[in-house]
Amino acid sequence: MSLPISWPADGLIPVAIQDDETRAVLMIGFMNQEALDATRATGEVHFWSRSRSELWHKGSSSGHIQRVRSIAVNCEQTSLLIRVLQVGAVCHDGYSTCYYRELLPDGSLEVTQDRLFDPRDVYGDGNGIHALTTLWWSAYAWLQDQNVVADSRTSVLLHDPNTSVIDRIQDELRELAGVLDKTHFHSNQNDDALLESSQCAYWIVIECLLRGISFSDILPDRALDVVEATVDPFTASRILRVEAEALQSMTPGVASHLLRMIAEAVRTVDIDPREIIERDLEQLKSRDYFSAYFAR
């Protein structure tokens, strides 16, 4: 049966999910014909995962499914609004909606809701990203407490509170943008994206520690926990260049936002953001002065 939908060339249309009782917007996803057919046949929302190129039954791993109450089509027949009965919490961060943060005038983000559950209890330690980022962040915090300035340039930086590396963050954001739009390269796009994104993360954690910003202030595990790309590499490149130009100082909100942008950027070239942290950790483990830290 033909449906009143104008499918674009890529076969994907945006879908807004709304709570049928509260009318709160819960999330945005994408559907193709297969996902829409599965949604209508089962009565539970299915999306098409663009990063994995496969059908995605929302809530299949967590049990937090979405039961369809109605499906509406917009005036141009190019998007859908689905009202649902949400079982559990929709957001993989543990909130009742994915829009749990408000953008403030200074560009930072403020959490406006209470978290309903700890994602580590539902998804198994955030697929390992919590432990990974904790180990990574704590390594630099440990280095800041040591005196190995004779052996470590990073130690020198961390022991000078008058230092700022904002300019280095800006440079690396531009280089990552260049990798994505193919104006900057070393070897191949994926390897280069991993290199530049790990450099971005490195300079961000250094600036944060210099400004007294802690892991709990920004929750890098949540910021980096991006499961699929929502834009293409060229759009991500433009966003990164804008972020680089706008960056003036470091706050918890800015740090969290930048890490999120970096994670979303590398997802556009099929890199799991965990690899950013894994790469930097491998570099740290090769440094003799970190042996005491990792031995713990």
Q: Which CATH superfamily is domain 13-111 in?
A: Phosphoribosyl-AMP cyclohydrolase (3.10.20.810)
Report the alpha-carbon angle 44-47-48, nearest 5: 150
Q: Report the C-alpha dihedral over residues 94, 103, 76, 37, rounded to 10 degrees.
A: -10
Q: What is the pLDDT of residue 84?
A: 97
Q: What is the pLDDT of residues 108-142, one digit of tens each?
A: 888 898 878 766 656 654 446 778 898 999 999 99
pTM: 0.60
Q: What are phi and psi of 117, to 5 degrees?
A: -155, 160
Q: What is the pLDDT of residue 120?
A: 60
What are the sequence ranges of the domains in the chain? Answer: 13-111, 124-295
Q: What is the pLDDT of residue 115?
A: 79
DSSP states along the chain: ---S----TTS-EEEEEEETTT--EEEEEEE-HHHHHHHHHHSB-EEEETTTTEEEETTTTTS--EEEEEEEE-TTSS-EEEEEEE-S-SSTTS-SSS--EEE-TTS-EEE-S---S-HHHHHHHHHTHHHHHHHHHHHHHHHHHS--TTT-HHHHHHT-TT---HHHHHHHHHHHHHHHTTSS-SS-HHHHHHHHHHHHHHHHHHHHHHTT--HHHH-HHHHH---S-SS-HHHHHHHHHHHHHH--S--HHHHHHHHHHHHHHHHTTT--THHHHHHHHHHHHTSGGGHHHHH-
Residue 244 Cα distances to 62, 201, 241, 254, angstroms = 36, 14, 5, 11
What is the CB neighbour count within 10 angstroms for residue 152? 18
Share the mean pLDDT of the chain. Answer: 90
Compute mean pLDDT per 10 residues along the chain, 296 residues long, and list them. 86 96 94 95 92 82 87 96 91 87 87 77 60 91 92 94 95 97 91 96 97 90 84 95 96 95 95 93 93 85
Cβ(48)–Cβ(55) under 8 Å?
A: yes
Q: What is the pLDDT of residue 109?
A: 80
Q: What is the pLDDT of residue 126?
A: 43
Query: Which has the closest alpha carbon to 59: 135, 122, 141, 140?
Result: 122
